[in-house]
Amino acid sequence: MKIQFATNVGLSEQDRDAVLDILRVLLADEFVLYTKTRNYHWNVVGPQFNDLHKFFEAQYEELSVFVDDVAERMRAVGGWAPGTLVEFHQIARLREQPGEFPEAERMLVNLLEDHEALIRSIRVDSETASERHHDVGTNGFLTGLLEKHEKMAWMLRAFLGGRSA
């Protein structure tokens, strides 16, 4: 016999469901960004190949951790994490460009734009989690994730010579 335990983490069911919706979309976005970064790692060409190949690898490895962390946060607050490509495609805000193999500089710009879009979304989502849904734990989690994306965006900007996307 399997024993089920109800989640009692101090959030109303309505607030928990709203926070899970925020995290569900974030998980899909993180997975899309992970996949795009890995794609660029595989397909980068040009004079900076070696540097960018290693740089993209370091970034997708870090993003892999983010994906896992978001999914685990969902489980910690009592929800289920989507785990299929179909679900991620349906709910992600970020988009891929299937069949496109941009030049190295455009790859950097694309990734920078996605990180900055995530930073803006996470900034709003963290405030919403705390102020509207009373989930300071998710707020703290999102704040930490925001800082990691800010660092990754800074590194992309540095590769672009300090230019913005």
Task: Determine the angle formed by the axes of helices 13-43 and 136-159, rounding to 10 degrees.
Answer: 20
The pTM for the full model equals: 0.91
Average pLDDT of span 127-152: 95
Residues 95-125: tens digit of each pLDDT: 988 888 999 999 999 999 999 999 999 999 9
For 86, the domain range is 13-92+100-159
Residues 74-103: tens digit of each pLDDT: 999 999 999 999 999 999 999 988 888 999
Q: Is residue 113 part of a domain?
A: yes
How many domains are there within the chain? 1
Q: What's the number of CA atoms in the CB half-sphere (13 Å) around residue 73?
A: 28
* Separation of alpha carbons 118 and 125, rounded Å: 10
* Separation of alpha carbons 63 and 124, rounded Å: 20
Whichever domain contains 28, its CATH number is 1.20.1260.10
